[in-house]
Structure 1
Amino acid sequence: MMAENPVRRTSEVNALRRGIDLGLSLIDTAEMYAEGGAEELVAEAISGRRDEVFLVSKAYPWNGSARELPLACARSLKRLKTDRIDLYLLHWRGDVPLAETVAGMERLRDAGHIRHWGVSNFDTADMQELVAAGGWRCAANQVLYNLTRRGPEWDLLPWMRQQGMPTMAYSPVEQGRLAGHSELAHMGTSLGLTAAQLALAWVLSRPEMIAIPKAADPAHVTANLRAVELGLTPAVLSDLDQIFAPPCRAVSLQML
């Protein structure tokens, strides 16, 4: 929801710049966000600092075809005011055959328009089909994952680790809802953390996991850094498992 309200624009730009200052160099956006407006916001924030940033953007599923993918990528590059996207994702699976999207991503990579490509919101069976369609160069899968959405732990995350593919967790604080969780807040207080910081630290404690929490003001970004720097003890992780139980069966991948 960044770049949707002009009143918040200065704060949002400053938040992104503050993240870069702190070494939080990955910025995630998509053509979907504010219908391209978020990419333009990112361009403003990284102006003069492009080489300090690992830039991620995403294409709509209906733009995953051989004809539409290069056009969508070109539009994103123009809005981002850059000559390359570091990681370009298919936002979720659509009707375009995966082999066609894979081939399109590979052509964009060979042309230097993107450095890596991946997917988002792909469950285990989707990932297996992707690899079978030639997508073994998939660099990441971005999925909904947090303390209240632990379903991927049953089969998707083990499969990803087996393939050597990192996972990107979006909404690691459940769109802010975990910030008000009473038990999490109580645990956080004992550790000198807020509930949101503890929730984010937990996601970052997972193997081969990248977290992309939204942060629309500089103070929020600074608070997130505390979670990055913190290591959770086995005892804390065990206590969190008592509050937020890991899955005991296969669960379909959820989306927000």
Structure 2
Amino acid sequence: HVASVADLEKGECVDAMERLRDSGKIRYWGISLFTFNPAPEAEWLMQRGLGDGFQLVLNIINQKSLPLLKRMKEKEYGIIARMPLQFGLLTGKFSTETKFSEDDHRKFRLTESIIRESENMLKPVWSIAEKYGMSKTDLALAFIFSHPEISTVIPGIRTANQAAENAKTSRHLTQLDMEAIHEMYAPVFEKLVDKMKTLG
């Protein structure tokens, strides 16, 4: 799954993947990048021309991977976007009254403070969803699909209805709306992402 630069430099995991591919047992291999600092491992592999793909976090709130996308595409890496709904925050279904069960990782990740801050920060984004007549989930997925570098998206799914809703999203946003969301990252969302990092 995730491998640090230190793991990659040891060479064992890279050698194992290369041998599996060379023997025909796998066609492609790649790694999942760290949520809050995806660049070091991505750069290490790209500089050496190793691996075939990356799984990275990309969504409206967490855009830390954006600077890497163009180079990944140029070097012909496949890109799997994970956490497109940011643990459900981008569905708009949570409020400060939401209670998570003790065994749900969101109990400590999506605190009342995080939910309250995200509600305020996302108001301009939800107005974009209204303009398109799409749900908040649809907008979150459309944001990902509107990056041509992305190969596929893997949202979390807990119910059959969620699977159906996620599968129907196929729209792309205009360049103007994409720019508006990108421009919100540094002054608005990045602070929230940094706060999430402290929670794990």
Q: Give the TM-score normalised by structure 1.
A: 0.53
Equivalent residue pairs, number: 160
**Residue of structure 1 equivalent to 2:56:** 143
**Residue of structure 2 equivalent to 1:60:** none
**Rounded Cα–Cα distance in structure 1 between residues aligned with 2:31 and 2:156:** 19
Q: CA deviation at 1:245?
A: 5.1
- Seen in structure 2, the aligned counterparts of structure 1 residues 101 and 224 have a Cα distance that, compared at 3 Å, is same
- 1:115-166 Cα offsets, whole Å, 9 max, x none, are 211011163332332345x5x2511111111111112223x22321231213
Matching of residue 169 in structure 1 with residue 169 in structure 2? no
**Residue of structure 2 equivalent to 1:204:** 145
Indicate if the aligned counterparts of 1:143 and 1:169 stay in contact, CA closer than 8 A. yes
Match of 1:96, SS state, is helix
Q: Which amino acid aligns with 1:147?
A: I
Equivalent residues in 2 for 1:55-204 (5 A)? Answer: 90-93=1-4, 95-98=6-9, 99-121=11-33, 123-131=38-46, 136-154=49-67, 156-180=68-92, 181-204=122-145
Instruction: Return 5+ residue gaps in structure 2 as ranges.
Output: 93-121
| Structure with the bigger percentage of strand | 1
Match of 1:116, SS state, is coil
**Rounded Cα–Cα distance in structure 2 between residues aligned with 1:153 and 1:231:** 17
Indicate if the aligned counterparts of 1:151 and 1:246 stay in contact, CA closer than 8 A. no
What is the alpha-carbon root mean square deviation over aligned residues?
3.1
Determine which of 219, 228, 233 is the counterpart of 2:174: 233
Q: Which amino acid aligns with 2:125?
A: L
Q: CA deviation at 1:196?
A: 1.4
Q: Give the TM-score normalised by structure 2.
A: 0.66
**Rounded Cα–Cα distance in structure 2 between residues aligned with 1:194 and 1:244:** 21
Determine which of 205, 213, 220 is the counterpart of 2:155: 213
**Residue of structure 2 equivalent to 1:14:** none
- Seen in structure 2, the aligned counterparts of structure 1 residues 245 and 196 have a Cα distance that, compared at 3 Å, is farther
Match of 1:159, SS state, is helix
**Rounded Cα–Cα distance in structure 1 between residues aligned with 2:183 and 2:17:** 42
Q: CA deviation at 1:113?
A: 3.1
**Rounded Cα–Cα distance in structure 2 between residues aligned with 1:143 and 1:243:** 20
Indicate if the aligned counterparts of 1:188 and 1:195 stay in contact, CA closer than 8 A. yes
| Structure with the bigger percentage of helix | 2
Instruction: Return 5+ residue gaps in structure 1 as ranges.
Output: 1-89
- Seen in structure 2, the aligned counterparts of structure 1 residues 107 and 241 have a Cα distance that, compared at 3 Å, is closer
**Rounded Cα–Cα distance in structure 2 between residues aligned with 1:103 and 1:142:** 19
Q: CA deviation at 1:194?
A: 1.0
